[in-house]
Structure 1
Amino acid sequence: MFLLARVLLAGLLLAAIAPLHATAPGRILIVVSGEGRDQGKTRPGYEFDELSQAWLIFKANGFAIDIASPQGGAVEADTYNPQEPFNAALLADADAMRVLADTRRTADVKATDYAAIYVVGGKGAMFDLPRDPALRTLLADAYGHGAVIGAVCHGPAALADVRLRDGTPLVQGRTLTGFSNEEEALFGKRWTKEFPWLLEDRLRERGARWQEAPLMMPKVVVDGRLVTGQNPYSTPGVAEAIVGATGRTPVARKPWRDELTMALAAQAREGRAQDVADALAKDTTRYHVDLLGLLGYYQAQAATGDDEVRHALQLMQLAMPYMAQPELKLGAAEAHLRLGERDRARALVQQVLAATPDMAEARALLHRIDG
């Protein structure tokens, strides 16, 4: 009798200290845009890389995974490289492909079924996700029931108009990130004019405490059960942060090439350019060297001060021995010119013209240097 009383008392105490609303501990919902058409050519969709990397990380950490979209059914990603290891792995997963071919409607999903909801980015997310009332309700209910909410790149657009039970915006007073205005200015030109608003502007208007890294550098922000990432290169960090926020310790894994390459870019910004050069010379196959060069090229375009120009130029210089594209040398020449280093700029342009004498862009830049 005494033993039975103790068991009953223990049960009552556990019920008293347990969360009022429990979430399913082993299942994650991934939300993608259903806007895409023709691989993003006639209408933007979701980013396959942001889906595949997160899926693999969630699966490796023991989660069951569902995928939902506003209308349900098949959804189309923007153009992607199927040879990237993370994409190839997902494409080879027959179960994943079946789920992706017939996504659930957000209106048919129960918030209490999931420990976390992860919203994939892509420019399509700016169109159908914010205007989906079922998704807004789902995200609010899931957060209210103790679930983790994560989003990457343009995915935080789905959070912009979510309101909690007391009417306050989900993002109000929360520290977060997403695709920045600076990144939009360089990479969103085709569709930006059709966006209902710019993501950064809208989230700031809703009271979010915005953070961002330099252009296209990975950044993950964790504010309690809200996890956001700035751009596609933030995806692995977001996925692992979501796993951690559910109470699990992410399993160790081998980083992908893009992650290793972005780590090199971060080292260069920290003043460790020689370490980066040594790593590339030792084994370039471990890295996506073109990504390093393009990162420098576009960061130079966005740079507003000499220090940022120098950081960008350094990335281009590190990649140049492994990249034959003349545009990279012209980008570096332009950076030298902005820094007042005309002789270095001229030398690079002359190298380009020696190989491609009719390149109008190179001739125009040489005229500016000597003008």
Structure 2
Amino acid sequence: MLAVVLTVVPLSALSTPALDTVLMIVSGEGRDAGKTRPGYEFDEVSQAWLIFKANGLSVEVASPQGGPVEADKYNPKEPFNAQLLADHDAMGKLANTRKIADLQAADYAAVYVVGGKGAMFDLPRHAPLQELIANAWQRGAVVAAVCHGPAALAPVRLADGTALVAGRKVTGFSNEEEALFGKKWAKEFPWLLEDALRERGGQWSEAPLMMPHVVTDGRLVTGQNPYSTPGVAEAIVRALGRTPVARQPGRDERAMAVVHQLRSGDLKGAAAAVKRDPAAHHVELIGMLGYYQAKAAGDDATALRPALQTMELAAPYMTEPQLTLGIADAHLRLGNREKARALVQTVLDASPGMEQAVTLLKRIDG
């Protein structure tokens, strides 16, 4: 990728950025809800936007080409998405994004780069965006990104020629996460995000697969994955000198909170929290999280056990044979052959001849 040469305003000429406006950057790459070309993540827009608005901040939206932009497939019934979809002002701004090249860094207190795999394509190669981010940083603005959004930060160089991320604590969509969820598009990426940030001197950190993780280093805020979005948005609010207003966490956040509780050693407390109010927790997300964490764990028992416990936390509230088979497979890898066989048999009783169940049973009896 070509290096971007920036003309940055001297520090002596800098002014204080606007106190109440956040510039939200989204990829304009998306087509057909992500089927033929990946775009941005609507969940990462809606959750952040609602937090910014609740804390008295204005939001503008920009993309490389300006105009309408297309998100990847998302659930419009998810409460935070439904709330933003009903906001005519917000949807109008997404339908007619501002062109990045037309903007001035001095107009914004913060720049927030939304993720989605599209961000790996058009944002790193867009020179006006790199210049805008560099100038915003030099002027004292907060610079933030979530999931694949930090791809826009990787090429940014400051007035002295150093990389923006050099020597600073950062995170983003990890190589481990990419290995499981990026197979369709990752082969076309210019680089893996984690590799690029490390190579440019970023001090990388990450949480277990798809767990929320927010890293704040002064005015630089990064989040690991989509579930880090509320934390990133509130970190931006705090970096702007405000105390985030109290709010009720959504079911995704509650789900992640009980998984964190489980992984911290309080399995009984996590199970009790879900049992008290299953509807308040996104139990399907808990099950999915455990399932993929188990896949990533391989035969590492230390990583596999909490993944198994996470799947079992969701199992009483789901009727998904794939989850049951995931639990059985984890038991098998941990040496609990009889438990694995019993679970597979329950699937075969309900769905005789199910290919995945038959294959797993052969492994158990092999």
- Alignment TM-score > 0.5, same fold: yes
Q: Which residue of 2 aligns with 1:322?
A: 317
1:293 aligns with 2:287: yes
Q: Which amino acid aligns with 1:368?
A: R
Q: Which residue of 2 aligns with 1:261?
A: 255
Matched-pair contact (CA < 8 Å) for 2:111–2:141: yes
When the two structures are aligned, how many residues end up with a matched partner? 354
Q: Which residue of 2 aligns with 1:128?
A: 122
Q: Which amino acid aligns with 1:349?
A: V
Q: Which residue of 2 aligns with 1:148?
A: 142
Q: Which residue of 2 aligns with 1:335?
A: 330
Q: CA RMSD in A?
A: 1.0
CA distance in 1, matches of 2:339, 2:66: 56
Aligned-pair distance for 1:307? 1.3
Q: What SS does structure 1 have at the residue aligned with 2:184? A: helix
Aligned-pair distance for 1:21? 2.5
CA distance in 2, matches of 1:341, 1:19: 68
Q: Which residue of 2 aligns with 1:11?
A: none
CA distance in 2, matches of 1:178, 1:20: 29
Q: Which amino acid aligns with 1:357?
A: P
CA distance in 1, matches of 2:255, 2:328: 23
CA distance in 1, matches of 2:15, 2:202: 26
Aligned-pair distance for 1:277? 1.4
Alignment deviations for residues 43-98 of structure 1 (CA, whole Å, 9 cap, x no partner): 00000000000011111111111000000000000000000111011100011111
Match of 1:313 among 290, 308, 312: 308
Match of 1:189 among 180, 183, 201: 183
Matched-pair contact (CA < 8 Å) for 2:155–2:163: yes
Match of 1:177 among 148, 171, 176: 171
Q: Which has the larger radius of gyration?
A: 1
Mapping for residues 126-275 of structure 1, pairs under 5 Å: 126-275=120-269
Q: Which residue of 2 aligns with 1:5?
A: none
1:86 aligns with 2:96: no
Aligned-pair distance for 1:318? 1.1
Aligned-pair distance for 1:358? 1.4
Aligned-pair distance for 1:351? 0.8
CA distance in 2, matches of 1:318, 1:250: 31
**Dislocated runs of 4+, deviation >6 Å:** none
Q: Which runs of 5+ in 1 are unaligned?
A: 1-17
CA distance in 2, matches of 1:309, 1:195: 30
CA distance in 2, matches of 1:19, 1:179: 36
1:50 aligns with 2:79: no
CA distance in 2, matches of 1:19, 1:339: 63
Q: Which residue of 2 aligns with 1:101?
A: 95
CA distance in 2, matches of 1:81, 1:58: 21
Matched-pair contact (CA < 8 Å) for 2:14–2:138: no
**Length-normalised TM-score, structure 2:** 0.96
Q: Which amino acid aligns with 1:144?
A: Q
CA distance in 1, matches of 2:265, 2:161: 47
Aligned-pair distance for 1:19? 9.6
CA distance in 1, matches of 2:238, 2:13: 18
CA distance in 2, matches of 1:319, 1:75: 35
Aligned-pair distance for 1:20? 4.6
Q: Which residue of 1 aligns with 2:4?
A: none
Q: Which residue of 1 aligns with 2:347?
A: 352
Matched-pair contact (CA < 8 Å) for 2:147–2:224: yes
Q: What SS does structure 2 have at the residue aligned with 1:190? A: coil
1:69 aligns with 2:80: no
**Length-normalised TM-score, structure 1:** 0.94
Q: Which amino acid aligns with 1:327?
A: Q
Identity of aligned residues (%): 68
CA distance in 1, matches of 2:305, 2:115: 31
CA distance in 2, matches of 1:231, 1:367: 36
Q: What SS does structure 1 have at the residue aligned with 2:188? A: coil
Alignment deviations for residues 104-138 of structure 1 (CA, whole Å, 9 cap, x no partner): 01101100000000000000000000000000000
Q: What SS does structure 1 have at the residue aligned with 2:185? A: helix
Q: What SS does structure 2 have at the residue aligned with 1:193? A: helix
Q: What SS does structure 1 have at the residue aligned with 2:70? A: coil
